[in-house]
Amino acid sequence: MRKTTRRSVLKYSAATAAMAAAGPLAGGRAWAQAASSPIRIGVLYDLTGPFTGAGSVPGSIGTQIAIDLVNEHGGVLGKHKIEPVKGDAQSKVEVALNEAERLISEQHVDTILGIYASPEAVPLAEKMEQAKKILWITIAVATKVLKGKNLTYTFRPGVSADAYGGAAIAFLKEHSQAQLKLDPTKLKCAIIHEDGPYGSDTGAADEVHAKADGIPIILNEAYSATTSDLSSLVTKLKRANADVILHTGYNPDITLFLRQAREAGLKFKMLIGHGAGYGQRDKLKQAFGSDLDYFLNVDPVSAQNLKPGSLKPELEQLVKVMVERYKKVTGNEAVPPHVSMGFNQTWIFLQNVLPVAITKYGGTNPDAIRKAALDVDIPEGGTIQGYGVKFAPPGNEFAGQNLRVSACVTQAYGDVEAIVWPDKIKTADDVMPLPKSNPYAA
């Protein structure tokens, strides 16, 4: 497996120039050669620092693949190629804000696309609102980015943290009796999470949905993602004797928790992760190997894991090209969900927003893009991740959030990664509790 570095990401466009064109896109229409000035877009991800091991780099590559595909076929409307102006947030909030300022003030971009980390997205959305510039979020999920803010220039076509909690609890409610032989009202659940916006909002969503469905929460504990010791948390979990642990964290803190849990002999029937570090299973497997087998994870759909025939042929072709290009540029066989997230949200912006902004609203200025985004009306099944797109309008509590988005529950073992919930898209039945061969199995 070749390590994906910041240099490989920044050189991705040049690397893909030698690749074969993807074939007909966007329903098979012909694309003319670009004949007008390029559209400059700021692209901001964490290309260095701890967040790179939790999905930011794969997300950035997904974004670049979408840009390359559009450019290879003439650009937006066959006239305007996309010129990405890249920044590296370095997994630091202050750097993300400084990079955004540089992109706006020095590079004169009207749109910043990307953003992996929720701690960066929350203040960045407020900054972009003040500057009246577009923030198009591809990955960051914290509910507080948008909830109650009535923002008019920030849009998130992907999931919010509430969807993570809703999916995890709905899965347990539907499967606890059959698989764990426990009525959901008797199921002992523990919530643990890093204490930033991402973990806190997801943990809160777990708790809200659990209470609504009568599932007991016997422990709800936050910790710093930069901590060097989680032994006291492991001790509390051992005393609580939870059946299921709901965990939200990034790669370093997940690695620390699982290592100390194994050393202390912590046992449970199931662990459900919530994206981020758990979505980067190949990174965790470097440390834990088969110990991770049968853990569950909540995330948006990895498009390549949908059943064949679930999507329209042109969307399935897009997925095929996305996967092939990601594997070629990284040398990795595993394709984490962040690739689909980076690609899909970027594709929506380039295919469904910019053309309308130009033809209906007169350009690519922030107000034209804002109006075009609010016009987007994609039905369920209309994107590579299976969901539709309709943004909540100004005045709505979740203004700027895609109201048609959804998450799924996956289970991985060996080289298999299956969708096990919801039933309408599942590719395999879930295995619960953990097999006795698993070192964490109760």
> Which ranges constitute the DSSP H helices of 73-160?
93-105, 118-131
Given this model, what pLDDT does residue 30 score? 33
Q: What is the DSSP letter of 178?
A: I
Q: Say what the pLDDT of residue 18 is.
A: 34
Terminal CA-to-CA distance of the chain, rounded, Å?
A: 33
Average pLDDT (268-284) is 90
Question: What's the pLDDT band for 10 if we cut at 50, 70, 90?
Answer: very low
Q: Among 49-53, 180-184, 393-397, which is the least confidently predicted range?
A: 49-53
Domains of the chain: 6-159+308-375 (3.40.50.2300), 162-299+408-425 (3.40.50.2300)
**Residue 342, both tokens:** 């980076």
Which pTM was predicted? 0.87
Q: Which amino acid is at 315?
A: L
Strands (E), 105-237: 111-114, 134-137, 154-155, 189-194, 217-223
Query: Is pLDDT above 80 for 31?
Result: no
% pLDDT > 70, the chain: 92
What is the per-residue pLDDT for 282?
83
Specify which residues 222 forms β-bridges with.
193
- What is the percentage of the chain residues whose pLDDT exceeds 90? 86
Q: Which of 31-45, 280-294, 354-368 has the lowest mean pLDDT?
A: 31-45
> Residue 15: what pLDDT?
41
Task: List Cα–Cα distances, 343 to 61, 89, 399, 415, in angstroms.
Answer: 8, 19, 23, 23
Q: Is 75 exposed, middle or buried (0-12, 13-18, 19+ CB in 10 A)?
A: buried
Q: What is the pLDDT of residues 200-239, one digit of tens each?
A: 999 999 999 999 999 999 999 999 999 999 999 999 999 9
Average model confidence (pLDDT) across the chain:
91
pLDDT band at 276 (very low <50, low <70, confident <90, very high): confident
Give the pLDDT confidence of 326-339 residue by residue, as tens digits.
Answer: 999 999 998 999 99
pLDDT band at 51 (very low <50, low <70, confident <90, very high): confident
Model pLDDT, residue 283: 84
String of DSSP letters for 339-381 = HHHHHHHHHHIIIIIHHHHHHHHSSSSHHHHHHHHHH--BPTT
Which residues, 6 or more positions from 264, have their beta carbon under 8 angstroms from its beta carbon? 231, 234, 235, 238
Any idea which residue has 């100004």 for tokens? 394
Residue 7 has what pLDDT? 52
Is 89 in contact with 120 (CB distance < 8 Å)? yes
| Mean per-residue pLDDT, 140-152 | 96
**Average pLDDT score over residue span 112-135:** 97
**According to the model, what pLDDT value does residue 25 have?**
47
Q: How far is CA 158 from the centre of its chain?
A: 7
Is the pLDDT higher at 284 or at 401? 401
